[in-house]
Amino acid sequence: MTGRMIQRIAPDALAQLSAGRSTVLVSGTNGKSTTTAMIVAALGGAVATNTTGANMPGGVIEAYSRSRARVAVMEVDELYVPAIGASTLPEIFVALNLSRDQMDRMHEVGSVARRWSGYLDGSEVHVIANATDPNIVAAVGTRSATWVDPGWAWRQDSVVCPRCTEVLMWESARWSCVCGLRQPVADYTVEGDVVHTLHGGSLRLELSLPGAVNLGNAAFAIAVAQRRGVDSDLAARRISAIDDVEGRYGTIQVGGRTARTLLAKNPAGWASLLPMLADDDVLIVSINADEVDGLDTSWLWDVPFEELAGRTVGAHGVHRSDVALRLEVAGALPVVDADIHRLAGRLPQGPCVIAATYGSFETLRGRR
């Protein structure tokens, strides 16, 4: 609210507040908040940042207004990258990924990539970008960039070339197109828990956050830190201390048991989340119909819930019936309940994990 009020009083507030600061902008469909937190930790010292995930102009303005730090790291909603970038004149832009999100509130992937391309064409910002995502590579174009291979395997939004629409060719986990667009050679690569860095260096990460996806997020953070002159070993140690990001990976009490909370809002996010589950984890899927969640639940059918076949899974939230149907078709055994505490009590014993979209996540964390 404060940021929006400031913007009304001073339409050029973002340019004024960011002037004279070294700014890093972070954007992508998934991983913005976690990667931003990792970059802040890796850099050390005083950093202005929007820790609450308020990543539209009002939230970014408020984050700048609350800190006088000379360095700023801001996560930015994908659609606002051109506007916020033009106002803040960032030193570094981190381009994580572009994939489908709820179509009733988010533009088609190619449209977002073209917006980014238009912004980057007129900017002198240094880009640290995902080499494995054809949409990102097309947006960056021919400009010099630092390329990261984060080890992510989501391909469903990269079937055709974003430049010429021919079907992309994949060979040995690398992609190329007959038009000449191809996967760049990465400056940073993730192999297992090791990040290979510039000039032949390598780091073994011992993250407190779970999942291979966070090793990829850490690679971007280390690339930013090195770009800004921070020792990579020091950056890695600082990143490894992070064990929670605004409730993601935190815990709450439901139905007399402790549950770990995870945020998942689209097919790519769910595809990275499901491998985090241990064999004995009991999962609750909570999907709401808030504006931030999207009103269209058709994306549930693109989530590989087949990985849960044979497991008992809780279905919660406004769209619990849609979730239950999708789980049943996938071969899982859904248990449906509108009351999260009652639902937790009806599920088998074992470590409990709640995976939720934004609206449901915020409600469960007591913030709505």
CA 32 to chain centre: 4
- Count the helices and strands in the chain (H runs, E runs): 13, 17
Average the pLDDT over 138-146 and give the result.
Answer: 95
- pLDDT tier for residue 331 given thresholds of 50, 70 and 90: very high
Q: Is residue 294 part of a domain?
A: yes
Domain limit, last residue, from 187, 212, 240:
240
Question: Both 187 and 319 in a single domain?
Answer: no
138 and 31 within one domain? yes
| pTM beyond 0.75, yes or no | yes
Residue 79 confidence (pLDDT) above 60: yes
Dihedrals phi, psi of 45, to nearest 5 degrees: 75, -165
Q: To the nearest whole percent, how much of the chain has pLDDT over 90?
A: 79
Beta bridge partners of 248: 245
**Higher model confidence: residue 311 or residue 173?**
311
Between CA 159 and CA 166 the distance in angstroms is 9
Q: Which two tokens stand for residue 188?
A: 């940073």
CATH number at residue 273: 3.90.190
> Mean pLDDT lowest for which of 164-168, 292-296, 357-361?
292-296
Q: What's the chain's length in residues?
A: 368
Backbone angles phi, psi at 30, to 5 degrees: -130, 145
Report the run of H or E that residue 86 belongs to, with start and end: helix 81-88
Q: Do 140 and 233 reside in the same domain of the chain?
A: yes
Residue 290: the pLDDT is: 74
Do 138 and 162 touch, CB atoms closer than 8 A? yes
Check pLDDT > 80 for residue 105. no
> What are 195-253's pLDDT values in tens digits?
999 888 999 999 999 999 999 999 999 999 999 999 999 999 999 999 989 888 899 99
Query: Which of 124, 77, 114 lies closest to 96, judged by CA?
Result: 77
Within a 13 Å sphere around the CA of 175, how many CA atoms are in the beta-carbon half? 25
pLDDT at 328 over 80: yes
Query: Which pLDDT score, from 0 to 100, does residue 199 have?
Result: 84
Measured distance CA(168)–CA(166) in Å, rounded: 6
Please tell me whether residues 194 and 309 are part of one structural domain: no
**What average pLDDT score do residues 343-349 get?**
96
102: pLDDT strictly greater than 70: no
Using CB atoms within 10 Å of the CB of residue 126, give its burial: 0 to 12 exposed, 13 to 18 middle, 19+ buried: middle
pLDDT, position 104: 55
Cα gap 163→139, rounded to integer Å = 9
* The pLDDT of residue 368: 59
Calculate mean pLDDT across residues 328-342: 97
Considering only CA atoms, give the Rg of the chain: 20
For 101-125, what is the mean pLDDT? 85
Asked whether residue 211 falls in the same domain as residue 306, the answer is: no
67-81, 146-160, 178-192: lowest mean pLDDT where? 146-160
Q: Residue 18: its pLDDT value, please?
A: 96
> For residue 264, what are the CA distances in angstroms to 165, 288, 332, 361?
29, 12, 19, 9
User: Looking at the domain assignment, is residue 286 inside a domain?
Assistant: yes
Q: Give me the pLDDT at residue 122, please.
A: 87
- The whole-number average pLDDT for the span 313-319 is 96
Q: Which of 208, 240, 272 is the last residue of a domain?
A: 240
Both 32 and 118 in one domain: the answer is yes
Least confident residue range of 41-50, 122-131, 174-183, 289-298: 289-298
Q: Are residues 266 and 309 in the same domain?
A: yes
pLDDT in tens, 269-315: 999 999 999 999 999 999 987 767 777 888 899 999 999 999 999 99
The pLDDT score that the predictor gives to residue 320 is 95
What average pLDDT does this structure show over 96-108? Answer: 76
Please state, in angstroms and rounded to a whole number, the distance separating the CA atoms of residues 44 and 234.
Answer: 9
Residue 343 domain boundaries: 251-364
Tally of CB atoms within 10 A around 280: 9
Strand ranges in the chain using DSSP code E only, listed in sequence order: 22-27, 48-49, 71-75, 92-95, 126-130, 145-149, 169-171, 174-176, 188-191, 194-196, 202-204, 251-254, 257-263, 282-286, 312-316, 333-336, 352-356
Question: Could you tell me if residue 246 is inside a domain?
Answer: no
Q: How many domains does the chain have?
A: 2
- Based on the domain organization, do 20 and 149 belong to the same domain? yes
Query: For position 248, what pLDDT does the model report?
Result: 87
Distance (Å, whole) CA 34 – CA 218 = 9
Q: Is residue 298 part of a domain?
A: yes
Of the three residues 240, 270, 292, the one that is the final residue of a domain is 240
- Report the CATH number that the domain containing residue 128 is assigned in CATH: 3.40.1190.10
Examine the domain organization and report whether 332 and 351 are in the same domain: yes
Q: Is residue 78 part of a domain?
A: yes
Report the distance separating Cα 368 and Cα 363, nearest Å. Answer: 5
Look at residue 280 and tell me if it is in a domain. yes
Structure tokens at 10: 């001073």
Question: Between 5 and 91, whose confidence is greater?
Answer: 91
The rounded distance, in Å, linking the Cα atoms of 107 and 91 is 26
Indicate whether 88 and 112 sit together in one domain: yes
pLDDT confidence band for 344 (50 / 70 / 90): very high
User: 269 and 175, same structural domain?
Assistant: no
Q: Is 244 left (phi over 0), alpha (psi -120 to 50) or beta?
A: beta
Q: Are 176 and 157 in contact (CB under 8 A)?
A: no
- Residue 257, pLDDT above cutoff 90: yes
In a domain, 245, yes or no: no
Mean pLDDT confidence for 180-203:
95
Q: Are residues 160 and 288 in the same domain?
A: no
CB atoms within 10 A of CB 103: 13
Rounded average pLDDT over 259-276: 92
Mean of all residue pLDDT scores within the chain: 93
**Any domain includes 117:** yes
SS3 107: coil
Beta strands 282-286 and 312-316: pairing type? parallel
